[in-house]
């Protein structure tokens, strides 16, 4: 396996072994309707599973993330965990929750997660662009 040092520092890839399962979400093709979240497949950092609980037919995961990434996470916004795009179902100061439906639990590696596990985190690209565009502008009352 070959990976750039940036990839190894920013992701959980270095901890995988030969034969480890990974998620691969296919990209949107030009001309197709946008019916999901906007994710790029880039990893912004690592989140850690804090707690799991069963909520009816779904599994709720609470995760912590670095403060510099939490700023981009909003309730009902999107994140990608280990390459799987998900909706943020709840939010607290230093952690966030996602709910995994049975199909996601079955078709991805997210069903194998336990408290303490680390996952690759991609935050909302639109929020990052807005911050960049508006960050240097003066605030008007």
Burial class (CB in 10 A: 0-12, 13-18, 19+), 124: buried
Which CATH number is associated with domain 41-134? 2.40.30.20
55 vs 20, more confident:
55
- The SS3 of residue 6 is helix
pLDDT at 76: 92
| pLDDT confidence band for 8 (50 / 70 / 90) | low
Residues in contact with 76: Cβ distance below 8 Å, sequence separation at least 6, in sequence order? 87, 88, 89
Report in angstroms the alpha-carbon separations of 93 from 13, 43, 74, 117, 138. Answer: 28, 22, 11, 20, 27
Cβ neighbours, 10 Å, residue 49: 18
By mean pLDDT, which of 28-42, 79-93, 123-137 is the weakest? 28-42
Condensed to tens digits (0 to 9), the pLDDT of residues 42-100 reads: 789 999 999 999 989 999 999 999 999 999 999 999 999 998 989 999 999 899 999 99
* pLDDT reading at 35 higher than 70: no
Helix spans in the chain (H) = 5-10, 67-70, 102-107, 125-134
Burial class (CB in 10 A: 0-12, 13-18, 19+), 21: exposed
By mean pLDDT, which of 4-8, 96-100, 110-114, 126-130 is the weakest? 4-8
Q: Where are the domains of the chain?
A: 41-134
- Per DSSP, what are the bridge partners of residue 78? 87
pLDDT at 50: 98
pLDDT at 37: 65
pLDDT at 126: 83
d(CA 134, CA 79): 22
How would you classify residue 62: left for phi > 0, otherwise alpha for psi between -120 and 50, otherwise beta? beta
Nearest to 51 by CA among 36, 67, 39, 62: 62
* pLDDT reading at 27 higher than 70: no
């Amino acid at each position: 396996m070959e990976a750039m040092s940036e990839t190894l520092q920013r992701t959980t890839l270095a901890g995988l072994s030969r034969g480890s399962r990974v998620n691969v979400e296919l990209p949107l093709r030009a001309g197709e309707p946008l019916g999901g979240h906007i994710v790029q497949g880039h990893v912004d950092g690592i989140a850690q599973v804090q707690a799991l609980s069963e909520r009816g037919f779904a599994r709720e995961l609470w995760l912590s993330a670095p403060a510099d990434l939490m700023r981009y996470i909003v309730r009902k916004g999107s994140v990608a965990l280990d390459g799987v795009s998900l909706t943020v179902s709840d939010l607290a100061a230093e952690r966030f929750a996602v709910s995994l439906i049975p199909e996601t639990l079955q078709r991805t590696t997210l069903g194998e997660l336990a408290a303490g596990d680390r996952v690759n985190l991609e935050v909302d690209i639109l929020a990052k662009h807005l911050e960049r565009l508006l960050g240097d502008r003066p605030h008007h009352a």
